[in-house]
Structure 1
Amino acid sequence: MTTVVTGATGQLGRLVVPALLAKGVPATDIVALGRDEARLADLAALGVTTRKVDYTDAEAVTEALAGADRVLLISGSEVGQRLPQHQNVIDAAKAAGVSLLAYTSIPHADTNGMQLAAEHRATEEAITASGLPSSFLRNSWYVENYSGQLDTYREHGTVLGAAGDGKVSPATRADLAEAAAAVLVAEQPKPVYELGGAAVTLTELAATVSEVLGQPVTYTDVPAEELRKVLVGAGLPEPYAAVLADADLGLCRGELEVDTDDLESLLGRPATSLADGLRAAL
C-alpha cells in the first residue's frame, strides 16, 4: 500500500514522513513529493521514494500518484493559485483510484469567513465532487506562527493584533504532522477533523510569551486597518499584510478556535502546550 505525501519539502510535510515511519509504515511504501530536489535528499536518506514535482505540472503529478493508495494533499503556499494546483492533485488521485485523499484545510472551512478560507473551502468542495473517499484535516494556526516572532515580542514588549478577545487554538507542526500520519494509517478515518490545541486569546498568548521570555510582554489590540499598515511598514507585501489583518478578524470571530478532542484522539496523548512549544523554539 503506497502512501504519497505531497509538499514534503515544506515545514509540515517533511515532518509527516518520519511520523509515518514511526507508525510502522515501511519506507518502501512511502513516496515524498516536493519542488526542491535538494530538500528531498534527507527524506531519501530515510529510504523513502522521492520525486521532484510541482503542483502546477498536471502530467508530473499524475505520474507521481500512479499506483498510490493513500494521498496527503498538503495545501499549497501560493495564495490565489492554490485551487487549480490542488485540482491537479485531485484529478491525479481520481485517476489513480486512491482509497483516501486527505487534505490539510482550515478550521470550519465550510463556514469560515476569512479570506484565507476561500481556497480551502473550494478545494474541499472539489474533493467532495470528485467522489473520492476523503478526510479533511482542518488545522488551526501553528504554534510556530508565534514562536517565529519571539525576537520581535522581546524587542517591542508587545504582541500586536486585531483579534480582540477572540480565541485561537494553536498546535505545533509536529503534533499536526503526527495527526496527519495517524489519519493516513487509520482503517476508517473521519471525513472531517477540526485540529488544534488549547484555545487562547492573544492576551493569554502574550502572558505565555512573558513567562517563556522572562520579561513583560502585553497584547496591544488595534483596528485591522492599522495592523495592515504596521505590517506593510515592517516590510510585508500589501496583499499579504491585508490577508494577515483579515485573519485576525476571523480569529476575533472565533473562526480559528476548535476543541482539542480530534487532535488528542489522533495523537493518543495531550497536545503539546503553547508554553512548551514556545520554549522548544526558544
Structure 2
Amino acid sequence: MTYLVTGATGGYGSYALKVLKELVPVSETYVLARSEEKGQALKDAGYHVRIGTYSDEVSMKEALTGIDRLLFVSMGTDNRQANQKNVVSAAKEAGVSYIAYTSFPDADNSKSGLSGDHRFTEKLIKDSGIAYTFLRNNWYLENEMPIIGAAMASGKFVYAAGEGKTGWALKREYAEVGAKALAGSDFPEVLELSRKPTTYVELAEALEKGTGKKLEVISGSDQVFIDSLMAVGLPENVAEIFLSFQYDIKDGQLDVNSTDFEKALGHDLTPFPEALKELLK
C-alpha cells in the first residue's frame, strides 16, 4: 500500500506526517512538494518525494502514479476550483483508490463565502468514483492568533462576532484525524470535525486561565476590531480578512455540533487553556 500527503511542507501536512509515521511505514509514504529544494528535508527523513503543483495537472498525474491512498490538503483561495479539479482528475487517471480531503464545516449547507470551493471539490470527488472521506475541519485555533496576540500585548481581547460560536481545535488535532483516515481507519464518508461550539467570551476566559493574564473582553464594532489588529502590526487589508471571518462566525457558519471529532481521534481534545498555552510557547 502506498500513501501520499499533499501540502506536506505546510503546518497541517507536517503534523499529519508525524502521526502517519506511527501508523504506516515511512518507506510506503510519499509526499508532494513544489520543488526538490522544498522537499529535501523530507527526503532526508526517508520519505519518497514527488514534485508537483495543483495548477499543473500533468505534474499531479505523475506525482500520483502508483499511489493508493491520498491525503488531499486543500489549497488557498486563489483559483482553488480549477487547481483542485486538476488534483481530482489526476487522481482518477492515476488510479488512486481513496481520497481524504480537508473540507469546510457543514459544506452542504454553509452560506460562507469560503464554502463554495469545497462544495465544488467534494462533488468532483464524489463524481470521480473514488472512495473518500471528507474531513470537514471546523476552525484552527491557530487562526485566532492575531486576536490572541493582540490581547496578550494590550490586555484587551477584542472580537466582533457577537454571540457567534466556533468549534475550535488545534491544527495538529485535525491533522491527526487526517493521518488516521489516510492510514485506513474505518471512517464514514463525512466527518464533521468540530469541538463543542464556543463563544469568544469563553475563549477569552480560557486564555485568562491558561496564561494567568487578566483581560478586558470587548465586543467591538468592525472598526474597533480592525484597529485592535492594526495596533499590533497587521496591515489593514489583512485585518479586514480577519473581520470577514468574524462575520461568518457571527452568522453561525462555524456553529456545528458533532461528536465525530473525538470519536475519530479516539481520545479527548486538548482543553482550551492547555491548547492556548501550547500555542503561546
Same fold, judged at TM 0.5 (above): yes
Alignment partners' CA distance in 2, 1:129 and 1:242: 36
Aligned residues: 279
Aligned to 1:221: 219
- String of CA shifts for 1:170-214, please: whole Å, max 9, x gaps: 111111111111111235431111112242100111111122222
Give the aligned residue type for 2:99: L
Is the 8 Å Cα contact of residues 167 and 200 (structure 1) preserved in structure 2? yes
The farther-off stretch of 43-52 and 4-13 is: 43-52
2:88 is paired with a residue whose SS is helix
- Residue ranges of structure 1 left out of the alignment (5+ in a row): none
- CA shift in 2, pair 1:173/1:187, >3 Å: closer
- String of CA shifts for 1:141-173, please: whole Å, max 9, x gaps: 112223465432111222322211111111111
1:211 is paired with a residue whose SS is helix
Alignment partners' CA distance in 2, 1:81 and 1:231: 27
Give the aligned residue type for 2:21: L
- String of CA shifts for 1:94-142, please: whole Å, max 9, x gaps: 1122221111011111211122222112211222222221211011111
What displacement does 1:65 show? Answer: 0.2
- Residue ranges of structure 2 left out of the alignment (5+ in a row): none
Aligned to 2:70: 71
Aligned to 1:11: 11
What displacement does 1:226 show? Answer: 5.7
Give the aligned residue type for 1:251: I
What displacement does 1:278 show? Answer: 0.9
Aligned to 1:176: 174
Alignment partners' CA distance in 2, 1:36 and 1:19: 24
Q: After the TM superposition, which residues 99-248 of structure 1 pair with which residues of structure 2 at under 5 Å, given as runs?
A: 99-147=97-145, 149-186=147-184, 188-224=186-222, 227=225, 234-236=233-235, 238=237, 240-248=238-246
Is the 8 Å Cα contact of residues 187 and 264 (structure 2) preserved in structure 1? no
What displacement does 1:242 show? Answer: 4.1
The farther-off stretch of 34-43 and 264-273 is: 34-43
What displacement does 1:237 show? Answer: 5.9
TM-score, normalisation: structure 2: 0.90
Alignment partners' CA distance in 1, 2:103 and 2:41: 26
TM-score, normalisation: structure 1: 0.90
What displacement does 1:9 show? Answer: 0.8
Is the 8 Å Cα contact of residues 224 and 249 (structure 1) preserved in structure 2? no
> In the alignment, which of 267, 278, 281 is matched to residue 280 of structure 1?
278
The farther-off stretch of 58-67 and 223-232 is: 223-232
1:31 is paired with a residue whose SS is strand
